[in-house]
Amino acid sequence: MLKITPFLYAALAVLFSIVAYAQQTPLTKADVRNVIDTVKELQREVDKDKAYDFEKMTQVGATLKSQVMYNKYLNIIKSHGFSGPEIWTETVTRVFKAYGAYKMQQESPEMDAQMQQAISQVQNNSNLTAEQKQQMLQMMGQAKQSMRTYVNASSSDIKVVKPFVAEIDATFGKRK
């Protein structure tokens, strides 16, 4: 059984306040710029830190190194205007939801045509029983709905992110 402790109450209060804050605060171009710049810098640091062989370190050494890396990454996040990892994470999430929604809007006619073609193929497949067709069509309908609701961003967030789409593509598309 879950025991409700003062710590749990405090953690839940912080979580709800972050969600409420994020819903009330409009996303700005500066936020998007800061996200892109932060991620670029974090990527460079992570690439540098991959040079360390954590398995060969002692447990104490690995723990210390982890703390040093955490502090370094936290300083990078803060240097780009974020008060802490929670606000940074929320902002990154909003930027990528808006980015994904924009990309989905751009590809929507093509995706809809492909989905409609797949539905027609199922409907016209004489090798499937009526029950199999119904199940497949239901799954396809759910998949289509998932695609639409997966990226649920506000229109104002999409509008703010739109001028940065090419830069986001270039920045994150080249990562392996």
How far is residue 93's CA from residue 99's CA, in Å, rounded to a whole number?
Answer: 10
Task: Give the model confidence (pLDDT) of 84-143 as tens digits.
Answer: 999 999 999 899 889 988 888 887 777 777 888 888 898 999 998 999 989 988 888 887
Task: Give the model confidence (pLDDT) of 21-75 as tens digits.
Answer: 455 689 999 999 999 999 999 888 887 777 555 555 555 556 666 778 888 889 9
pLDDT at 43: 86
pLDDT band at 4 (very low <50, low <70, confident <90, very high): very low
At 68, list the tokens.
């040093």
The contacts found for 112-121 with CB under 8 angstroms, 24 or more apart, are 115/140, 115/143, 115/144
CA-angle at 114, arms to 104 and 146, nearest 5° = 50
pLDDT at 175: 47
pLDDT at 114: 81
pLDDT at 64: 65
* SS (HEC) of the chain: CCCCCHHHHHHHHHHHHHHHHHHHCCCCHHHHHHHHHHHHHHHHHHHHHCCCCHHHCCHHHHHHHHHHHHHHHHHHHHHCCCCCHHHHHHHHHHHHHHHHHHHHHHHHHHHHHHHHHHHHHHHCCCCCCHHHHHHHHHHHHHHHHHHHHHCCCCHHHHHHHHHHHHHHHHHHHCCC
Whole-prediction pTM value? 0.63
- Contact predicate 168/37, CB 8 Å: no
- Contact predicate 102/169, CB 8 Å: no
